[in-house]
Structure 1
Amino acid sequence: MTEIDNVLAEMGQAVEQGRAGDRVGARVALEALWARVGDDGDALHRCSIAHFCADLQDAVADELAWDQRALAAVSDLSDERAQRFHDSLQVRGFLPSLHLNLADAYRRNGEPGPAREHVAQAVQHLDALPDDEYGAQLRAAVGRVSDALDAGSLALLQPS
């Protein structure tokens, strides 16, 4: 197994740890992995670690910072690199989720302007999503975040 595979495997284990209810342990594991990969490490690693680490934060400001790291890292990611992980991946397909997460974090942080900008960016890239359950979930989530923005809600949205 290569180092690249090891990082992605460790990240997957941490994500599963968080899904099993150990949010603190998962967050600590992902933050340690981030420190090991470094701010200039492999873009797929940085984007993925930051994306999942954002979901494990207790404070919206911390979640927002991790979401910003994920979006910054994707700008360094190439389709070729993503496809070394899975041949169906394209960088453009990452953008709806990354912008959606930023929109929701900005919304919950009381910053509707940037939230609306990121909703618009997510909508712009929705066509990059597959016509499957994942794509449908993201499309629906964009609608829920947009509706919450229109309502002025700062509340955490429940997944559907």
Structure 2
Amino acid sequence: MADDRMAEVFAAVRLGGGDPEAARRLLEELWVEIGASGDPLHRCLIAHHLADLQDTAEGALLWDQRALAAVFGPGVPLDEGLRGFLPALYLSLADSHRRVGDFDAARMQLAIARGHLDILADDAYGALIRAKLDNVETALAVASMEPLPAA
């Protein structure tokens, strides 16, 4: 029931706007239920959103790494659905590296994110990702480890 699972993921993500702790618990439960052999898209989305719900930069970095690992797991075909997440995944990873003070890794991940921008449409989502890339680059230029304002 992939559609049901995706509905559960999105319901948990929506909950994060009003009750981040409840959203984190639900997403962590889904992560465990799906397991290591679960659908890569589900694992990627859960980890990507769990990164945003962490209290520490180190926690966010761990979940950002898990999100990218879900995309590049053994035997996982990089289809258009997963490929479309790469700019956002690398952007998040760059920002998490910046927030823990690993500026070289942040710059490298930012460059990789920029290298995947061609997959993004010229729409509001594409503009959002490009603006966030610029914001992370600006923060890196002044060696800031502070969280960036939410978009």
TM-score between both structures, scaled by the size of structure 1: 0.89
Q: Does 1:33 align with 2:30?
A: yes
Separation (CA, whole Å) in 1 of partners of 2:9 and 2:29: 10
After TM superposition, give the deviation of residue 79 of structure 1 in Å: 5.3
Unpaired runs of at least 5, structure 2: none
After TM superposition, give the deviation of residue 106 of structure 1 in Å: 0.5
Q: How many matched pairs?
A: 149
Separation (CA, whole Å) in 2 of partners of 1:116 and 1:78: 27
Please list, as runs of the form range in 1=range in 2, the aligned pairs for 1:26-105 lying within 5 A after superposition: 26-76=23-73, 77-78=76-77, 89-105=80-96
After TM superposition, give the deviation of residue 92 of structure 1 in Å: 2.3
Provide the secondary structure at the position in 1 that maps to 2:54. coil
CA-atom RMSD in angstroms? 1.3
Separation (CA, whole Å) in 1 of partners of 2:139 and 2:92: 14
Partner of residue 10, structure 2? 12
Amino acid at match of 1:8: M
What stretches of structure 1 move > 2 A for 4+ residues in a row? 76-80, 89-92
Q: Does 1:110 align with 2:107?
A: no
Separation (CA, whole Å) in 2 of partners of 1:6 and 1:36: 13
* Percent of residue pairs bearing the same amino acid type: 48
TM-score between both structures, scaled by the size of structure 2: 0.94
